[in-house]
């Protein structure tokens, strides 16, 4: 029996993690859950799974939730704000923390979990993008495993099974290309929020869906892959594969390419991280090669989808630059989701912040969080938002 805590249990990854736990009650116990403010869903999760602890970011909502579950036994302790998320991340009863929260808010709780010796099922890529140098060395020091949940990184992780002694020549990181694949820069000028939220293959949270449309997501994934697999950025090649059948590939020194394929279903990488190294039955569709008509490949258009170009630049510079890329993107996407800016302004905001940032080598957590604030202030004053 493995005890699981989830940071962000009400979101797309969080609820799919819960689906996996629900399907395997003899193997897992859910000991702690959390969300930003969705206490309606948290209440349902408490009544179904009886976790010991529930963290709600919003303090007023936490109080409301306490009242709403006053009849539930055994009792569930409700905590709030960052202290609450840290308490959840390091709860003594858990074996693994699934980081299913969105954004840099995940940094501090993830570090707390590693310090408490918890394995990490990592979906929250923004944490690794901004604090990868801290997280990876701390995980080594503490002897904890960082198990990728992002589908591409899970695929690479699966391709590397039994290959630890062998050199990776390159990682072939696949990308669907998002809803705007094939569009020109002019055509992107007037795309709407509704258009950007229509991902062709995956149903995901709103922020990552926009990141897929800009291809910033793929850029963040390049950085994530660098930290997870210890390769250089030049060893990571992005390959557009619009059907999302190949989830990524690894090429070895002898020229052999190993790929992981499957239908687009996030429960597979979530379940793989939870059960690693075991594979168990997962209900759902299977690939049918008799009807699968084609798997096609092309190069990403980095001059139109600048997200990828900026990410390669940020990781080449290193230090605090990936934080600038990520924080500017988080801020810009939040504004785009609010319909306050246009699609291409997401790139403009990232570019502006990266071009005027004084880079810090090997930033501490405090410096990363200060850089995040600097980015927000810089955008607010330049765009009068």
Q: Which residues contact ligand NDP by CB under 6 A? A: 8-14, 34-38, 57, 85, 100-102, 105, 123-126, 150, 202, 204-208, 266
Binding partner of residue 208 among ligand NDP, Mg ion, none, CB cut-off 5 to 8 Å per kind: ligand NDP
- Residue 38 binds which one of ligand NDP, Mg ion, none, with CB within 5 to 8 A depending on kind? ligand NDP
Residue 57: which of ligand NDP, Mg ion, none does it interact with, CB under 5 to 8 A by kind? ligand NDP
Query: Which of the choices Mg ion, ligand NDP, none does residue 126 contact, using the CB cut-off of 5 to 8 A by kind?
Result: ligand NDP
Window of 132-140, 152-160, 182-190, 327-335 that interacts with Mg ion by CB under 5 A: 152-160
Token pair belonging to 73: 């036994």
The reply on whether position 224 binds Mg ion by CB under 5 A is: no
126 counts as binding Mg ion under rule CB under 5 A: no
Residue with smaller CB distance to ligand NDP, 61 or 181: 61
- Of 48-56, 90-98, 147-155, 164-172: span binding Mg ion (CB under 5 A): 147-155
Nearest approach in angstroms of CB 203 to ligand NDP is 7
Q: For Mg ion, which stretch binds (CB under 5 A), given 82-90, 142-150, 283-291, 294-302?
A: 142-150
DSSP secondary structure letter of residue 106: G
Q: Which does 66 bind (CB under 5 to 8 A by kind): ligand NDP, Mg ion, none?
A: none
Closest CA to 372 of 142, 146, 186, 126: 126
Q: Which of the residues 323 through 362 are near Mg ion (CB under 5 A)?
A: none
Dist. CA 169–CA 254, nearest whole Å: 8
User: Residue 35 or 231: which CB sits closer to ligand NDP?
Assistant: 35
Name the minimum Å distance from CB 127 to ligand NDP. 8
Separation CA 137–CA 358 (nearest Å): 25
Per rule CB under 5 A, is residue 150 in the interface with Mg ion? yes
Neighbours of 244 (CB within 10 A): 19
Cα dihedral across residues 220, 216, 151, 48: positive or negative: positive
Q: Which residues pair with 99 in a beta bridge?
A: 7, 122
**Binding at 10: pick from ligand NDP, Mg ion, none (beta carbon under 5-8 Å per type):** ligand NDP
Across the beta sheet with 146-148, what order do the strands follow?
77-80, 53-56, 28-35, 2-7, 96-99, 119-122, 146-148
Q: Which is nearer to ligand NDP, 115 or 206 (CB)?
A: 206
Reduce the secondary structure of 210-256 to three states and give it as a string.
Answer: HHHHHCHHHHHHHHHHHHHHCCCHHHEEEEECCCCCEEEEEEECCCC
Q: Which residue is nearest to ligand NDP (CB)?
A: 11
> What angle is formed at CA 323 by the lines to CA 319 and CA 324, rounded to 5 degrees?
105
Cis peptide before 312 (omega within 30 of 0): no
φ/ψ region of 224 (left if φ > 0, alpha if ψ in -120 to 50, else beta) reads: alpha
- Give the interface with Mg ion as residue ranges (CB under 5 A): 150-152
């Amino acid at each position: 029996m493995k005890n699981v805590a989830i940071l962000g249990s009400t979101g797309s990854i969080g609820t799919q993690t819960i689906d996996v736990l629900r399907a395997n009650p003899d193997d897992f116990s859910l000991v702690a859950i959390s969300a930003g403010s969705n206490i309606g869903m948290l209440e349902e999760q408490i009544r179904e799974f009886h976790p010991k602890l529930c963290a709600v970011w919003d303090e007023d909502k936490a109080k409301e939730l306490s009242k709403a579950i006053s009849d539930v036994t055994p009792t569930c302790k409700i905590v709030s704000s960052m202290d609450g998320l840290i308490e959840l991340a390091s709860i003594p009863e858990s074996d693994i923390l699934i980081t299913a929260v969105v954004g840099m808010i995940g940094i501090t709780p993830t570090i707390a979990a590693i310090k408490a010796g918890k394995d990490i099922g990592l979906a929250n890529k923004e944490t690794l993008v901004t604090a990868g140098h801290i997280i990876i060395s701390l995980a080594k020091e503490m002897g904890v495993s960082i198990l990728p949940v992002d589908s591409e990184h899970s695929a690479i992780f699966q391709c590397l099974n039994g290959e630890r002694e062998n050199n990776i020549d390159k990682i072939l990181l696949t990308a669907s290309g998002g809803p705007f694949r094939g569009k020109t820069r002019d055509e992107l000028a007037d795309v709407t929020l509704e258009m950007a939220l229509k991902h062709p293959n995956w149903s995901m949270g709103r922020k990552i869906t926009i990141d897929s449309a800009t291809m910033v997501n793929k850029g963040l994934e390049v950085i994530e892959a660098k930290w997870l697999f210890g390769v250089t950025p030049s060893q990571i090649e992005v390959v557009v594969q619009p059907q999302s059948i190949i989830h990524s590939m690894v090429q070895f020194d002898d020229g052999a390419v190993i790929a992981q394929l499957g239908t687009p279903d996030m429960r597979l990488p979530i379940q793989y991280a939870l059960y690693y190294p075991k594979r168990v039955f997962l209900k759902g569709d299977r690939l049918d090669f008799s009807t699968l008509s084609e798997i096609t490949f092309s190069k990403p258009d980095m001059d139109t989808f600048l997200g990828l170009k900026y990410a390669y630049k940020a990781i080449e510079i290193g230090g605090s630059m990936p934080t600038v890329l990520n924080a500017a993107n988080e801020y810009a996407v939040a504004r785009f989701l609010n319909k306050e800016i246009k699609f291409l302004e997401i790139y403009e905001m990232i570019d502006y912040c990266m071009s005027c940032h004084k880079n810090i080598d090997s930033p501490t957590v405090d410096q990363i969080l200060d850089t995040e604030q600097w980015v927000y202030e810089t955008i607010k004053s330049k765009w009068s938002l």
